[in-house]
Structure 1
Amino acid sequence: HLLGAAGAVEGIAAVLAVRDDIVPPTINYKEPDDECDLNYTPNVANSTPIDLAMSNSLGFGGHNACVAFAKCEG
Structure 2
Amino acid sequence: LRVNSTKSMIGHLLGASGGVEAVATVQAIRTGWVHPNINLENPDKDVDTKVLVGPTKERLNIKAALSNSFGFGGHNSSIVFAPYK
TM-score above 0.5, yes or no: yes
The structure with the greater share of residues assigned to strand is 1
Q: CA deviation at 1:57?
A: 0.3
How many residues align? The count is 73
Q: CA deviation at 1:21?
A: 0.6
Identity value in percent: 44
Aligned with residue 77 of structure 2, among 42, 45, 65: 65
List gaps (5 residues or longer) in structure 1. none
Name the counterpart of 2:5.
Answer: none
List gaps (5 residues or longer) in structure 2. 1-11
For 2:48 and 2:68, locate their aligned partners in 1 and report how far apart those are by CA, in whole Å.
21
The structure with the greater share of residues assigned to helix is 2
Amino acid at match of 2:79: V
Q: Whose radius of gyration is greater, 1 or 2? A: 1
The ranges of structure 1 where at least 4 consecutive aligned residues each deviate by more than 4 angstroms after the TM superposition are 31-34
- The answer as to 2:31 corresponding to 1:26 is no
**In the TM superposition, what are the counterparts of 1:1-16 in structure 2 within 5 Å?**
1-16=12-27
